[in-house]
Each structure stands twice: as C-alpha cells, then as structure tokens.
Structure 1
Amino acid sequence: MATVINDQLHADLPTVQFQHIVSHVEGSKFEKLLFVVRALWAFFTTSQVDAVHIHVASAASFYRKSLFVWAARLRGKPAFLHVHGSNFNSFYTGSAAPLRAYIRWVFAQCARTLVLSETWRQFFTQHIVQNRVEVLHNGVHVDRFEECRTPMVDTSHFLFLGRLGVRKGVYDLLEAIDQLVNQHQQRHLRFLLAGDGELAEVQALIDAKQLQEQVQVLGWIDSQGKMELLKQVSTMVLPSHNENLPMAILEAMAAGKVIISTTVGGIPDLVKSGTNGFLITPGDVPALSSSILQVSSNPTLAARIGACNIACVSNSFNLRTINEQLAQLYQAAIAEAAGTVR
C-alpha cells in the first residue's frame, strides 16, 4: 500500500493536487487513537477538498478508515475507498452479521470503490456493494526497470521477494527446493530470498534441509537492492496463499522476468499460465517444483516469456495510464456530487 500511495502522491497530473493525511502510527492504543483524532482534525480544517481518496486494508485498518468515510459524508465530499487488503474477503465473511452490515453501509456511502483486479470486483459486487466498483490496477514506471532486463541471465537463478512467512508461500518454496536438490539432484539451482518476516525460522529450515549452498536469506532490501537482485535472476517465484495485486510481480514483469506464482487474488489478471509465466494452486509443491525445473531447463522459453511480460506491463499496467484513469474517476465523481451529471 505504501508504494501505491507514494506513486499516487508523485503522479504527474496537472488537474489534481493531493494533500496527504496519515492516520496510523505505531505505538500504544492511546497513541494510535490520538493520532487518528489529529488526522480527523487535519481533514476537517483543510479548506479546499473536492474528493477524498482513502486507502484501506482490512480489520483495524478498515474500521479506522471508515471514520474518514463518515467525515467525507459530513463535509459533503465524494469518497473513494481503495481496497488493498489481500484477505478482505475472509475479513468480511468472518465478521459477525452486524459488522458485515456496517461494512456494506460504509462502502455504500462511497462515490467509488476501487479494487485491484477483476476477481476482487466480482467479490465486492456480489457481497458488499453492487454499484460503482471500479478496477484500478497497481502500476509501475516501466522505464525504470530497463536496466534490469539482462538477456543473458542464468535461468537457474530465482528470486523470492516478499515477507517471509506462510502467507507468501516461502515454506512451500523451501519444500520444492528440497525436492529439486535432494531428490532430483538439481544442485545447480540458486534462490535468493529477500524480505523481512520469519528470517530465523526460514534459515533454520534451510540448515535442517542442508540447502545452504542453494538458498540465501537476504532479509529486507531497499529499492536499489531490489534492482540489483532483479539483474541477477531470470525468474520471480511468489507462491502466495493470499494476495491482492502484488507490486513485486508487476516490477519483475517490467524487468522482463518469468513469473511463477499462484491462482489467488489479482494474480491471474497479471499472469496467464504458459504465456507469461506459470500459475499453480497454492500449496501444490510438486507443481511448484515442476515449474521451477521447466524454467531452469529452457532458456529460450524464459527469454520469450520475459519479452511478453515487458509488453504486457507496458500496455496494461503503465503507471502513467493508470494515473490518468484515476484522474478521470475523480472528475466524474466530483461532477456527480455537484449535480452536473445525471
């Protein structure tokens, strides 16, 4: 979510001027509550507001951000709820009936609900709000990843980029690597695991399976470190159990990498299995192993898929185009609120 917000704030949109109000801070419950109150005060004391764009996840994030939907309603301004949470479906279905009713009411007050994929649009229109649900994909600055498009990268090198834990499927990946290395003797394979999370647990499992030569845990990396890693690999592996529309996959596609991932969230909007990557069912370790082996043994296929991914992102997920779509949505909602559009 932070990447999307930052890109939005720095968008080159002559007709739009953003004022960013942060509503969350780490700390005690009292500190968090005080911060929300201050954010609401900042909103009500901001003189010129035409529309309110609210980025939201699930659980506590939703309830906190719903206060700003109320605030926008009180000021008579159109609100956009932009949903990023990868588990919003389970959050909604797992809530008690009164809370589900409140969730539906909040979204019904919004001028637009923005979701990241067609899969999520279908969920929201079926369960939460029938109208004014728009797909606004995450996007990337495609040209920034040109330096990562190294055509001669060894197809035996793979990158996992995300929080190390169950949700992102890192333990499934380690099981697949174990099969490939210790059962099928694919000892030439190399995997870089970049991200925060359960670093000690992951390293302990690597040691137990004697995969130290094949797998390196790098921990959290910054933007420049990410670019350097993308230069070294042919493939991004993200076998997630739960996702929305991962920026890591979009960025790897812009860098011309093969994608191995799963059929969850908005990922099928990005990756068509066999065309620009490989999609498996979450938790299907044999299929994950097979996909890794297929890429590592077929440099021609990897090169073709990489070129396809660059074209796909350039055509459909270019951030400039997506920002223009967002500006048009703002204009339409503002016009509707002013009663100039029927």
Structure 2
Amino acid sequence: MVRILMCSSSLKVKGGMVSVVKNYLNYPHWEGVKIKYVPTHIEANKFVLMAYFAVACIRILWLALCERPDVAHLHVAERGSFYRKAFLLRALRRLGIRVILHHHGAEFERFYNSLSPKGKQYVNKILRMADLNIVLSRRLVSMITDKAPKAKVQVLYNAVYAPPANPYDIKADNVLFLGRLGHRKGVYDLLEAIRRTDKDLPEGVKFLLCGDGEAEEVSRKAKALGIEHRIAHVGWSDGKQKEDFMKQSMINVLPSYNEGLPMAILETMAQGIPNISTSIASIPEVLHDGKNAFLIRPGDVDALCRCLLKLVGDEDLRMAFSRKSYGLIKEAFSLDANIHKLKELYADMKDNAQ
C-alpha cells in the first residue's frame, strides 16, 4: 500500500486545480493507494487565510509524524500558493517525506519574472528540492528546467472522465464560456465578438458565461454593448447546472491570454463540444487548428468572429470537430490513463526511498 498525503485548496474553491483534485478524490479505482487529503487554502481575507493555513500545517505535520505517508502530493499555482507549498515542502523534506510539486499555475512565468533576483533564487531552490515536479504538458517542462536545470520533471496531462459514447447534441444552440470572468480568459474579447456578429447569428443562439470573477462588470459591459438579449447566463455554475449547460451547448469558446492546460477545454472535449480557443501554452497540444477546433491569436477579435460564425453555420464541421475531440479524450486524456501513470510515479518514489 502506498500512502499519499495530498494537499490543495478547499474543495469549495472554484477553479481548474480543484477540478483536478476532485477528479482524483472521486476516482473509484485507487487499488494499492491510500490518499489522505488536507486542504490548505480557502477563499477568504488574508487573516482568515493565514489562520486556516496554520491549522492545516499543524494537521499535516501531525500526519507526517504519526502516519508517515510515503509521498506528499502538493498541488501548486503561483504567488501565495507557491509560498505555502514551499513552506510545506521544506518541512516535509526535513521529516524524510518525499514530495511532489504538481504545477497548475497559468501565470507562473509572470509571477517568476516579477521577483527580485533573491526571490528567483528561492523559487529555483524549491524546484530543485522537490523530489518530482509534475507539469501539465511537454511545453511546460522548460518552465521548470530553464530555472532549475537539475530539477526532476515529469509530464502528466490533466484528464477528465469521458462518457462511454459521444453525447454531443448537434441541434444544441448555446455557446459556452467556462472560466474565470476577466481579462485573462478573454471574456471581454468574446463580448465584443458577440456585438460584431449579433446581426449574423441565428436568433436562437445564446451565450452562457460560466465562471466566478468579474460577473457584475461582465453584465454591465454586455448591457453597454447592447447584447443583453444574447446572454443567457453570467456567473458561476457547477454540478448539475454545469452538466445541463454543456448538454445545451454547440461550441465552447475560451479566448485566453494565459493558460496551462485548461480543464474547461478537456471537459468540453469529453462531451464532444467543439472549441474555439487561443494558440497559447499547452492548448495546441490538444486542440489542433482546423482538425478538431479553431485556434486564434489572443486578442484577435476579428478571427474570433470568423471562427464563431463558421462553426455556428456549419453543422457538418461541428460534428467532425466533435467526433475528433471526443475521440482524442478517450484515447489520450482519460482519467483511467492519467491515474495509472500517477500510481506508477507514486510506486517508484516509494521504492526509491527504501
């Protein structure tokens, strides 16, 4: 039995990293692996957050001393998330616990470049200290090795559950946006594209803008642009509502400026929903322009308009993209394959520690 101590945010926190963790914790076939999960972060003011993290640290150190996990699997982003996990990594390594840093941060490079030389040295030291750094794609390996050439790195793509058969409804007439509402995810570019294409879109096409963040500002902007009649939802959606929205959607649009490997893209692909996104980060490793999706440059609203109108108006193309997207998820990004590889990594780390 391999004993794992896993740490990330509270499962009530919104975002892709927590979606990955939920997939892991809900997976039914962890034979040979026992996971103890301790959340280290909540969405709160800094004083509550500091107190929450302090209590989590006490619990983690108690588990490390009393239950002696074989591996600590720490999910990490940038800024505060990195420093919290760095503190835990150093403490756990001193206790002889092997540590994985599983990197999810879409803005890690921006965070790193903002640091002083001393701050960069500290980050480099933490990357080297980890027994293993997991990144979400091949492109992101250099994100670690350029800073810490001796750091150990493995690629483990995000993965999702895919239903037994492609559930895509070719007659669906909604366009979906799944992501934090704000500039980084390109939601304001999407609003402008809706304004420009409004007169050319079929009357029944509505847009579902699903995410936390700047919901009030997005609603005000939609009103100012005169496109309120096109907006069917603004705000966070999860659980049954999110499932229903995906069933009703013919396209997912995510015109992001910074990303890792967005769970929103994988989740919609698993439902057979064609995507329009940007050719950044790891996205081109799963979305292949003109084959299973359309890719544009960040900020290119003209291209976004063209792709949106083309996909909305061409059922055959949407169906072709749907089949290829769903097939790729089943073949290469299934949760079964992801966890099989993760089990192997855990076992290797345990064996190498003995």
TM-score of the two chains, using structure 2 as the length reference: 0.89
Which of these residues, 38, 46, 55, is aligned with residue 55 of structure 2? Answer: 38
Taking the aligned partners of 2:321 and 2:44, their CA distance within structure 1 comes to: 45
Partner of residue 110, structure 1: 130
Q: Deviations over 1:131-176 (max 9, x none)?
A: 42111111111128x584223334xx31111121111101001111
Taking the aligned partners of 1:212 and 1:29, their CA distance within structure 2 comes to: 36
Partner of residue 15, structure 1: 32
Q: Deviations over 1:263-312 (max 9, x none)?
A: 22221121010111011111000011111011012110100110101100
Which of these residues, 251, 272, 275, is aligned with residue 291 of structure 2? Answer: 275
Partner of residue 82, structure 2: 62
Question: Could you say if the C-alpha distance between residues 26 and 165 of structure 1 is closer, same or farther in structure 2, counting changes exceeding 3 Å?
Answer: closer
Amino acid corresponding to residue 250 of structure 1 in structure 2 = L
Partner of residue 89, structure 1: 109
Taking the aligned partners of 1:225 and 1:118, their CA distance within structure 2 comes to: 33
How far 1:215 sits from its partner (Å)? 2.3
How far 1:40 sits from its partner (Å)? 2.3
Amino acid corresponding to residue 315 of structure 1 in structure 2 = E
Taking the aligned partners of 1:140 and 1:226, their CA distance within structure 2 comes to: 15
Taking the aligned partners of 1:37 and 1:152, their CA distance within structure 2 comes to: 51
Partner of residue 240, structure 1: 256
Amino acid corresponding to residue 36 of structure 1 in structure 2 = F
Question: Could you say if the C-alpha distance between residues 44 and 197 of structure 1 is closer, same or farther in structure 2, counting changes exceeding 3 Å?
Answer: closer
Which of these residues, 199, 218, 222, is aligned with residue 206 of structure 1? Answer: 222
Partner of residue 201, structure 2: 186
How far 1:28 sits from its partner (Å)? 4.7
Which of these residues, 144, 162, 166, is aligned with residue 124 of structure 1? Answer: 144
- Tell me the secondary structure at the aligned position of residue 253 of structure 2: strand
Taking the aligned partners of 2:44 and 2:322, their CA distance within structure 1 comes to: 43
Are the counterparts in 2 of residues 13 and 324 from structure 1 also a CA contact under 8 Å?
A: no
Amino acid corresponding to residue 290 of structure 1 in structure 2 = R
Which of these residues, 165, 169, 172, is aligned with residue 153 of structure 1? Answer: 172
Question: Could you say if the C-alpha distance between residues 174 and 29 of structure 1 is closer, same or farther in structure 2, counting changes exceeding 3 Å?
Answer: closer
Percent of paired sites with the same residue: 34
Q: Does 1:53 align with 2:73?
A: yes
Q: Which structure 2 segments of 5+ residues have no match?
A: 1-16
Question: Could you say if the C-alpha distance between residues 309 and 187 of structure 1 is closer, same or farther in structure 2, counting changes exceeding 3 Å?
Answer: closer
Amino acid corresponding to residue 134 of structure 1 in structure 2 = Q
Structure 1 runs of 4+ aligned residues shifted over 6 Å read none
Taking the aligned partners of 2:110 and 2:116, their CA distance within structure 1 comes to: 12
Are the counterparts in 1 of residues 271 and 326 from structure 2 also a CA contact under 8 Å?
A: yes
- Tell me the secondary structure at the aligned position of residue 70 of structure 2: coil
Taking the aligned partners of 1:42 and 1:201, their CA distance within structure 2 comes to: 39
How far 1:119 sits from its partner (Å)? 1.6
Taking the aligned partners of 1:213 and 1:322, their CA distance within structure 2 comes to: 41
Are the counterparts in 2 of residues 56 and 84 from structure 1 also a CA contact under 8 Å?
A: yes
Partner of residue 101, structure 1: 121
Partner of residue 22, structure 2: 6
Are the counterparts in 2 of residues 203 and 217 from structure 1 also a CA contact under 8 Å?
A: no
Are the counterparts in 2 of residues 148 and 230 from structure 1 also a CA contact under 8 Å?
A: no
- Tell me the secondary structure at the aligned position of residue 206 of structure 1: helix
TM-score of the two chains, using structure 1 as the length reference: 0.92
Q: Which structure 1 segments of 5+ residues have no match?
A: none
- Tell me the secondary structure at the aligned position of residue 86 of structure 1: coil
How many residues are matched?
A: 333
Taking the aligned partners of 1:263 and 1:147, their CA distance within structure 2 comes to: 25
Taking the aligned partners of 2:225 and 2:42, their CA distance within structure 1 comes to: 39
User: What RMSD in Å do the two structures reach over aligned CA positions?
Assistant: 1.7
Amino acid corresponding to residue 318 of structure 2 in structure 1 = A
Partner of residue 133, structure 1: 153
How far 1:130 sits from its partner (Å)? 4.2
- Tell me the secondary structure at the aligned position of residue 235 of structure 1: strand
Q: Which moved more, 1:79-88 or 1:40-49?
A: 40-49
Are the counterparts in 1 of residues 166 and 323 from structure 2 also a CA contact under 8 Å?
A: no
How far 1:322 sits from its partner (Å)? 0.2
Q: Which moved more, 1:75-84 or 1:18-27?
A: 18-27
- Tell me the secondary structure at the aligned position of residue 233 of structure 2: strand
Taking the aligned partners of 1:172 and 1:128, their CA distance within structure 2 comes to: 36
Taking the aligned partners of 1:150 and 1:199, their CA distance within structure 2 comes to: 28
How far 1:27 sits from its partner (Å)? 4.2
Which of these residues, 313, 318, 322, is aligned with residue 297 of structure 1? Answer: 313
Which of these residues, 228, 239, 250, is aligned with residue 244 of structure 2? Answer: 228
Q: Which has the higher strand share?
A: 2
Which of these residues, 128, 136, 142, is aligned with residue 162 of structure 2? Answer: 142
